[in-house]
Structure 1
Amino acid sequence: MPPRRSDATTIRKITHDVLGFDDFRPGQERAMRAVVGGRDTLAVLPSGAGKSAIYQVAGHLLDGPVVVVSPLIALQRDQVDRLEELQPGAAHHLNSSMSAGDQRKVLEGLADGTVLYVFLAPEQLTKPEVVDAIRDAGPALFVVDEAHCVSAWGHDFRPDYLRLGGVIEQLGHPTVLALTATAAPPVRAEIVERLEMRDAEVVVAGFDRPEIRLEVDAQPDAHGKREAVLDRVLQLVGDGQKPGIVYSATRKGTEDLAEALTERGLRATAYHAGVRAAERDERQEAFMADELDVVVATTAFGMGIDKPDVRFVVHAEPADSIDSYYQEIGRAGRDGQPALAVLVYRQEDLGLRRFFAAGIPAEQELQQVAGLVQAAQAAGIEDGVDVKDLREETGRGATPLARDLNLLEQVSAVVLDEEGAAHPAEGAPKPSEAAAAARELAEHHERVDQSRVEMMRGYAETTECRRQFLLGYFGEQLDQPCGNCDNDTRAAENGQPQPAAPPVDTPFPVETPVEHAEWGPGVVMRVEDDRLVVLFDEVGYKTLALAAVLEHGLLKPRPA
């Protein structure tokens, strides 16, 4: 559908009238104008920068409904609740927790124009009746929230996002808006490619969140680390800097820390995937209602949580990547007021992250799974193979089996529907060929994941400006030290200010495409005085000594 009005004055008026905004955050207006003008748009805006406002405003100016793909039901409900306040009855979600009748009513509302925004998980778009109903409604805008999930380079890759490019074409290619808070240049390129975006406008607002102070507290052993986490949280809450979030890598760790904080007088609770769903919802609601001082959580807590006054985020273990870490600390200080991000760091904890990153399934296991799925179809089982049946047949646990199915889906061997059943993909390779391709893909993912863990080590152990390190990871060069991290404070106290960033005429500027004789093609992500960080397609992140690169010609520029 063509846009109705896209001039800046109209967009500003709608933004003021509907959202009450008198001004825009970086990147918002540019993205709105591109979308309302009918151009596919990728908006990479930091956490709390108002990404949802882009499609909320566009929905008022486009002729047709807005479809929003979102990975979590809780996130869908949150967005629907917000839109309900602005336009009662205009927004609905569509997911597997609803009855068939309620789902049908939403699709009928799309058809008669009473539903203007529909939020759904990508799995819903495996259903032909859903795709047909959306197509017939003539959607004006197709929004992909958490768009980094479409990229194998992303830190939260979701195989079910891979189908979205094809779905967009089935819908007649309405204007596409992809939204994410963290996307390094290779991730941006893959999002545009996977979603089959046309002449995409890429809007990248500054990643910098200068209000968040960055600190690392290095500890020699597990006991010292635990006490440091507890002491720091108690001190922060005691000083009135609350509420806050503590991230732990394991469920057991969240329970232990939450119990210890409660014993010391804080209103604390644990949050992880092992807690019953209803109880998780209660704990999240209590946090949002200021009934808790701190939530101790795994990464199950946070996506879509938009509480502006979180004052601190403390990590009891390193995140699995800089991508994850930056998104997690971005949940602090969304009101623009000072906030704190502390990583309590012990070198040995990186081994835990390497363990989580590791895990390549045996080729015969992959072949068995692919063979069972294809055999079911050959036997005339049209509903696919239920994952529970696969578990019984293979004797494999839920987590490794899910990993196998995800790998097989990525190599176009199987397709998973919303009910969790597995079907052979159209034109699927033989089970032996699928297994070999899936195994090769798993090895590639492991190399990349391990390199991300090493970048997390680099952040924790750098003696230079931590903000320069973080932003450099995403391909954004900060010319001067931030002055709001522990390393910069320490340098200033010692009378040795941190050096400025290298000049822009460095032989390998950020985002330069390069080629390495052994590691193949890559992109320069960060430039320091004497080092380069390069993201290689095959082996992930590598840190190279600039002198050695120049002396031995290790890198050669390549065409973009």
Structure 2
Amino acid sequence: MEALKQILKSYFGYDSFRLMQEEIIKNVIQKNDSLVLMPTGGGKSICFQLPALMLEGTAVVISPLISLMKDQVEALRANGIMAATLNSGNDEATDRVIREQCRQGKIKLLYISPERFMTEIVWIGQMMKVSLFAIDEAHCISQWGHDFRPEYVHLGVLHERFADVPIIALTATADKTTKADIIDKLNLRDPQIFVSSFDRPNLSLDVKRGYSAKEKLNTILDIIDRHPYESGIIYCLSRKETERLAGKLKREGVAAGAYHAGLEMEERSRIQEDFIKDKIDVVVATVAFGMGIDKSNVRYVIHYNLPKSIESFYQEIGRGGRDGLPTETVLFYNIGDLVTLRSFADESGQSELNNEKLNRMQEYAEAQVCRRRIMLNYFGEVSEHDCGNCDVCNNPPQHFDGTMIVKKALSAIMRTKERIGFTTTIDILRGTMSADVAANRYDLLKTFGVGHDVPARDWRDYLLQMLQMGFIEIAYTEDKHLKVTMLGREALFGDKKVELAMIRREDRRKNKIKQAQQELPMLYSNGDKTEDPALFSVLRKLRQNIAEENNWPAYVVMSDKTLHALAKEKPTTLNAFSNIYGIGEYKLNTYGKRFVDVIKGYVNS
């Protein structure tokens, strides 16, 4: 136990283990197989990196993306740990050096992709002493997982080729079916299954429904304004949307880049590298972006569109706040997204499964109870208390008598013989002479213009509420026309009162004024000590200089959490510096004097 803690402090700078890490590490050291489900940012990497330092030989880490391997290798080297990666980005001379170092046992962790591993498997078996196999993003091996990758399937031969080498499979998201599939496909031997809490209390959860493109942009700009010089990710459903939104942000002066699978590999790599190294603040991306992101200081994650499943959503918001500091997550929810995703699900090879996953995502977005409890319940974890850090907890929905609004909408749909979608329904209610209204003479209907006093954006929200309350449904096989359900007919022709949730929308001008009145947005205090934000800025600049000298991302040098602690504690001796969170022996010896000198100069100025 003491040896484990000593290595933890010496190499990683941590004084104690997080939940379950110690048990997992002991299981690996005892050469038993393990399946680890732990949230992004929960400390999965330590579970195989620390055993790699204790066991004889080289740990082989099988990971899906070059960028992810590169980031982890840089972070390990910044902690004084010998690590390397064999990938297509290396030249032959580099690979030869790495192979020789592995043969000599000098490399403690070797990162490699599953397809590259299969081409190297004979050499690895003959020339290396393998201490353990770590299968990162293990859900990729399961056809039931949200990111299935065929190249992972071949890893089932590991125990056949390396009989005595333990395997640790790690993932942030896997339901019961995916867990069983991972164990089966990897041929794990009596694995101990470790399921950590899926709760990420530092992530706030916020859903904004029925927003127009303009309202979305204003909200996004507000969030960016709250996080000057900090990093954020915005996920979009389509490639075109990423480029369109990134263009809008750039015109507003935001350092942003678009990322999607349609870009040339070189361009994708450049955007990701610029984001990792803080040359741009925001990446607007499709789901093609993310698995390779090990960046610890992402302060906000925004979903411009509804994700296809809670697994995907959880994985994507998990890329924020990996350092444990407060992080915003915002999900925009619109009917158009639901229609598009339903079409994707119907056309997929697993229509029933994907529609069920989408249903659960829809339930989360439409919930009027604590969102975190819904998400944790999805992963089989029960919470007895509301979280106090989601929009429902912080602003419980208020309701009003919406009976007449519902009756007007249902009547408009019925009078067209249920042959219209959301847009035309709103046009009829608002009295807008659109092409569809004119072509079908819907302007002659009694309901034409009966809702002219309600803004179109509010009608979108009310129709969305009516959908989730079961008054209407979408006929996906009939050109997405709206159909009034039996419950809807009872609401239309009966005298039962219908309550709707009041719509809350932010006023960007008021938000800007409120923000301008705040002197400093982010102060961390502890007891009688309060963080000095000016010192934090000075230390961040020093960190950036060191990062550029080594061609590393800034967070590899020091995490934001460590910088905040330094700005609060203001250590002016190396001994005091060594007691700061995240400072191990290597960082103490390598950067300690530079940081202490800067802090001394600041304190004495």
TM range (shorter): 0.5 to 0.7
| 1:337 and 2:325 correspond | yes
Measure how far apart 1:19 and its partner are.
Answer: 1.1
| 1:255 and 2:243 correspond | yes
CA distance, structure 1, for counterparts of residue 279 and residue 34 of structure 2 = 39
- Larger RCO, structure (CA 8 Å, separation 6 or more): 2
Q: Pick from 72, 80, 88 the counterpart of residue 96 of structure 1.
A: 88
Equivalent position amino acid for 2:32 in 1: R
Q: Pick from 120, 145, 155 the counterpart of residue 146 of structure 2.
A: 155
Equivalent position amino acid for 2:220 in 1: V
1:488 corresponds to which residue? 393
Equivalent position amino acid for 1:50 in 2: G
Measure how far apart 1:99 and its partner are.
Answer: 4.0
Q: Pick from 83, 100, 107 the counterpart of residue 108 of structure 1.
A: 100
CA distance, structure 2, for counterparts of residue 93 and residue 359 of structure 1 = 38
| 1:312 and 2:305 correspond | no
Q: Pick from 155, 159, 181 the counterpart of residue 164 of structure 1.
A: 155
8 Å Cα contact 2:260/2:289 also seen in 1: yes
Measure how far apart 1:95 and its partner are.
Answer: 2.2
1:549 corresponds to which residue? none
Matches within 5 A, 1:133-144: 133-144=124-135
TM-score, normalization by structure 1: 0.67
8 Å Cα contact 1:309/1:333 also seen in 2: yes
1:232 corresponds to which residue? 219
3-state secondary structure, aligned to 1:59? helix
2:114 corresponds to which residue? 122
2:592 corresponds to which residue? none
| 1:12 and 2:5 correspond | yes
8 Å Cα contact 2:368/2:396 also seen in 1: no
2:254 corresponds to which residue? 266
8 Å Cα contact 2:205/2:390 also seen in 1: yes
2:591 corresponds to which residue? none
CA distance, structure 1, for counterparts of residue 55 and residue 13 of structure 2 = 20
2:551 corresponds to which residue? none
Rate the CA distance shift 1:32–1:249 in 2: closer, same or farther, 3 A.
Answer: same
3-state secondary structure, aligned to 2:144? coil
Superposed CA offset, 1:213-236 (max 9, x none): 1111111xxxx4322321111111
Measure how far apart 1:183 and its partner are.
Answer: 1.8
3-state secondary structure, aligned to 1:179? strand
CA distance, structure 2, for counterparts of residue 137 and residue 309 of structure 1 = 36
Matches within 5 A, 1:26-425: 26-87=19-80, 90-100=82-92, 102-127=94-119, 129-219=120-210, 224-240=211-227, 242-359=230-347
Superposed CA offset, 1:309-336 (max 9, x none): 3221111111121101001111222232
8 Å Cα contact 2:53/2:108 also seen in 1: no
| 1:25 and 2:18 correspond | yes
CA distance, structure 2, for counterparts of residue 134 and residue 354 of structure 1 = 47
Superposed CA offset, 1:241-285 (max 9, x none): 642211001110000111111112222221112233333233223
8 Å Cα contact 2:142/2:148 also seen in 1: yes
CA distance, structure 2, for counterparts of residue 124 and residue 173 of structure 1 = 22
Identity of aligned residues (%): 40
CA distance, structure 1, for counterparts of residue 359 and residue 162 of structure 2 = 42
8 Å Cα contact 1:64/1:138 also seen in 2: yes
2:593 corresponds to which residue? none
CA distance, structure 2, for counterparts of residue 130 and residue 473 of structure 1 = 38
1:425 corresponds to which residue? none
3-state secondary structure, aligned to 2:198? coil
3-state secondary structure, aligned to 1:292? coil
8 Å Cα contact 2:83/2:107 also seen in 1: yes
3-state secondary structure, aligned to 1:311? strand
Equivalent position amino acid for 2:90 in 1: M
CA distance, structure 1, for counterparts of residue 274 and residue 90 of structure 2 = 25
Measure how far apart 1:173 and its partner are.
Answer: 4.2
8 Å Cα contact 1:27/1:43 also seen in 2: no
1:451 corresponds to which residue? 356
Superposed CA offset, 1:75-110 (max 9, x none): 11111212222346x322122333455444433332
3-state secondary structure, aligned to 1:491? coil
Measure how far apart 1:207 and its partner are.
Answer: 0.6
Measure how far apart 1:348 and its partner are.
Answer: 2.2
**RMSD (Å), alpha carbons:** 2.1
CA distance, structure 2, for counterparts of residue 256 and residue 20 of structure 1 = 43
CA distance, structure 1, for counterparts of residue 164 and residue 140 of structure 2 = 20
Measure how far apart 1:492 and its partner are.
Answer: 8.2
Computing the radius of gyration from Cα coordinates, the structure with the larger value is 2
Measure how far apart 1:49 and its partner are.
Answer: 1.7
Rate the CA distance shift 1:290–1:107 in 2: closer, same or farther, 3 A.
Answer: closer
2:531 corresponds to which residue? none
CA distance, structure 1, for counterparts of residue 219 and residue 354 of structure 2 = 30
Superposed CA offset, 1:487-546 (max 9, x none): 22233889xxxxxxxxxxxxxxxxxxxxxxxxxxxxxxxxxxxxxxxxxxxxxxxxxxxx
Q: How many residues align?
A: 398
8 Å Cα contact 2:63/2:137 also seen in 1: yes
CA distance, structure 2, for counterparts of residue 203 and residue 355 of structure 1 = 36
